[in-house]
Amino acid sequence: MEKELAIITGADGGMGQEITKELARTGYPIIMACKNKQKATPICEQIKKETGNRQIEIREIDLASLTSVNAFTEQLLKEGRPISRLMNNAGILTTPIRKTEDGLNTIISVNYVGPYMLTRQLLPLMHSGSRIVNTVSCSSIIGKIELKVFFEKGKSGPFFRIPIYGNSKLALHLFTQELAKQIQEKGITANASDPGIVNTNMITMQAWFDPITDLIFRPFIKTAAQGAATAVHLALSEEAKRKSGCCYVNCKEKKQSKRMQSHPFQRILWEETEKLIRSKGFHL
């Protein structure tokens, strides 16, 4: 039986390539959802060659632009192809203070609002047995949601990218848990994958101490393949087939704290994100 569509955001990045390879080897037709088609093209061709899967295509999406996300989903909705796997893998950890065309903090848009909108708009194409996997982070433990400033600044006070990154990943984690509740009756699962600290370009701090941190820490952290393994497990394994609303680390379910299980901002953040996206003129 032919498999249904798998969509992988950030498929041209370190972990994204590994996730794409594993799903391609299993026979999924794949859309590599990438910001830069030119960069992604040689990667796509190499994956086709390695896996023998020719059903891989690239489509551009910029998660820092709600207009781009909407265009991406509108095309898929017109085509009506059923989606079996949605891998929200893309993420950024930028240094300069930047706002998107929608007036959002760039880290918050790419790591949270964009994936939220993408997922919500694509739900009509999913069915019982479909799986959604969101890549979160161990940095969410330091996350804090301040609704008054969250979307536009990421946090109150001066700009520091690590806390804002942690806040964005906490938001994605809370979205995963709330989404799991909302789609439970449809038989669609949503889980969070925490890859740990992975040896990719994202962790480069673009600062004078980079060579020192490279020397000390990089030999001890995960390769891109090791980091991607948990997301692949959630996408493909029988063990995770009926799991939903969970967070996995090293391919195993992680026990969540009571506060995370019943976080006071989980439902509120869902509602505020809905309001934000609709206020920008987009449907959910």
Q: With bands split at pLDDT 50, 70 and 90, how would you rate the model's confidence at 193?
A: very high
Which residue range is the domain that position 28 belongs to?
5-196+225-279
4 or 223, higher pLDDT = 4
Whether 139 shows a pLDDT value over 80: the answer reads no
Number of domains forming the structure of the chain? 1
Q: Give domain status of residue 208, yes or no.
A: no
* CATH code, domain carrying 131: 3.40.50.720
Q: How many angstroms separate the CA atoms of 175 and 132, rounded?
A: 12
Kindly tell me if the per-residue pLDDT of 159 is higher than 80.
Answer: no
- Strands 247-249 vs 131-135: parallel, antiparallel or unpaired: unpaired
In a domain, 210, yes or no: no
Give me the catalytic one of 28, 112, 116, 165. 165
**220 found inside a domain:** no
pLDDT one-digit tens code per residue, 215-246: 555 666 778 899 999 999 999 999 999 999 99
Beta carbons of 66 and 113 less than 8 angstroms apart: yes
In 3-state terms the chain splits into helix, strand, coil percentages (rounded to 5) of: 50, 15, 35
For residue 211, tell me if it sits in a domain: no
| Active site annotation includes 112 | no
Confidence at 280, pLDDT banded by 50, 70, 90 = very high
